[in-house]
Amino acid sequence: MNEKTSRRLFLLGSTTAASLAAAALVGEALADDKVVPWKAGIARAVITPEKSVWLAGYGSKRPPDGKIHDLWMKALALEDADGNRVVLITSDFQGVPRSMSDRVFEQLPAKYKLSREQVMFTFSHNHCGPRLGDDLVDYYPVEEEQVALVEEYTSQMVDRTVALVGEAVANLAPAKLAMSEGKTTFAVNRRNNPEADVPRLIAEGNLKGPVDHAVPVLTVTRPDGELAAVLFGYACHPTTLSFLTWCGDYPGFAQAEIEKNHTGAAAMFVNTCGGDQNPLPRRSVELCQKYGHMLAVAVEEALQQPLKPVSGGLKTSFELIELPYLKVVNREDLHALLQDTNTIRARWAARMIQNLDAGEKFPVAYPYPLHAWKLGSEMLLIGMGAETVVDYALRFKKEFGPGTWVCGYSDDMIAYIPSRRVWEEGGYEGGSNLFEYGRPAFRWSGEIEDRIAAGVEKLVKEVGWRE
């Protein structure tokens, strides 16, 4: 029985057993109504470039030729009864580099009293989104006009992000949070299933894992029952498309469909740990729409199930941990690569030599961002920088149990973050490819999973998750 039915029965004043039971329910419902443990504020902004900034994520020059739909950035501010706040930003960006997100984070304390640990800046890793700052800078030929356009657009987006966070905080109003989970299966482990074989492997039921097909869902509802936002996640690269048209790839289609189904609500997507997962088969708008629809249906199915309310209380913890490189490159290593047939590697070597010439000393490790947010006693949101492979989500969900969300692609693009298994196997996500991201090394040290797990465990303890 829902609240409205029970209230109507109560008003009828019947003395039957059923109405007594209904009256008891009303008591609960009213008490529940009074206790609205959260405030939530939502803001949205279009981020589609107006000028010819190239599309990001594939190693070539990709000038835009139009748009399928707009690209979006959205922010969800949450405040508990004690005034503790967080802001989660989701976006249709391919990769937000530290050089950009730091410019946002450093403005937030003075403007909105939000410290670094209170804000998570996520990006879907959409490969039909625009270039930003020095993200994947060696992927693209250097053309003066483009360099200036990327700089201009990045500065605009820094301002827009700061304004968006302010708007979300200004919009804080009473809300209830509730969780659910759906499932959809289009993500394929791209390391263990050759792309050309995937249609056959699907037909035979022989796809190999590991995968994470869960679709975690969090709803934000106003006290009158109006749905204000749906946050949802999936572990998969938004690489269905590789053309030159602005588009949010499958998360863009999913968000648009959910917002159409629920007028006025914001649909917000986070890429959970999809570093080694691809939407396969791919490369057509029809497939992209199909995957977006599959994800939207998984969210709608999750919304049809009994939702688990998230009780009050917010705790946050954040740390930059050091991720060591296996071996930092030197001038001799770089000189040998100046004529490399891989143009990304050759551009990287030349740029790194320039940095050495300018007096830069290459660091031996990278500061890696980790977040833990505890919402009530029901939800633990772990935020991790960069392209985390699926093993991280599977590991932390197992370790910390139901209610755990593990988001990759937070705050900083950095590189692939292999698990120990993927590092040992090597290949694209585990091997010698850090140069692609402009790092001063080819590989991470093999112990990074241990370091990350120790970091996450410390933060999770600090927020007091299920002690």
CB of 345 to Zn ion, least distance (A): 18
Cβ contacts of 85 within 8 Å, gap of 6 or more: 77, 78, 79, 114, 118, 169, 314
What are the start-end ranges of the H helices in 315-360? 331-335, 343-357
Q: Whole-number minimum distance, CB 274 to Zn ion, in Å?
A: 8
What span, in angstroms and rounded, lies between the C-alpha atoms of 70 and 50?
11
CA distances from 34 to 23, 75, 176, 229 (A): 17, 26, 11, 21
Backbone angles phi, psi at 60, to 5 degrees: -165, 170
Q: How far is the CB of 335 from Zn ion (least distance, A)?
A: 29
State the Cα angle at 73 between 126 and 120, rounded to 5°.
90
Residue 416 or residue 465: which is nearer to Zn ion going by CB? 416
Nearest by Cα to 183 from 226, 218, 214, 217: 214
> d(Cα 79, Cα 168) in Å, to the nearest integer?
11
Conformation bin of residue 83: beta by default, left when phi > 0, alpha when psi is -120 to 50: left
For residue 277, the minimal CB distance to Zn ion (Å) is: 10
Cβ-based nearer residue to Zn ion, 38 or 269: 269
**Cβ distance to Zn ion smaller for residue 112 or 442:** 442
**CB-nearer residue toward Zn ion: 161 or 271:** 271
Pinpoint the alpha helices (H) of 133-240.
144-170, 198-204
**CB-based contact 377:401 (threshold 8 Å):** no
Q: 26 or 56, CB closer to Zn ion?
A: 56
Taking the complex as a whole, how short is the minimal distance between the CB of residue 122 and Zn ion, in angstroms? 14
Site for Zn ion in 360-419 (CB under 5 A): 387
**What are the backbone angles phi and psi of residue 359, rounded to the nearest 5°?**
95, 5
Instruction: Give min distance, CB of 162 to Zn ion, in A.
Output: 26
* CA angle centred on 81, ends 79 and 83, rounded to 5°: 55
Binding mask 228-247 vs Zn ion (x if CB under 5 A, - otherwise)? --------------------
Q: How many residues sit in the footprint of Zn ion (CB under 5 A)? A: 1
Nearer to Zn ion, 80 or 387 (CB): 387
Residue in the shown chain whose Cβ atom is closest to Zn ion = 387
Which CB, 387 or 411, lies closer to Zn ion? 387
To Zn ion, the closest distance from the beta carbon of 333 in angstroms equals 25
Q: Residues interacting with Zn ion, by CB under 5 A?
A: 387
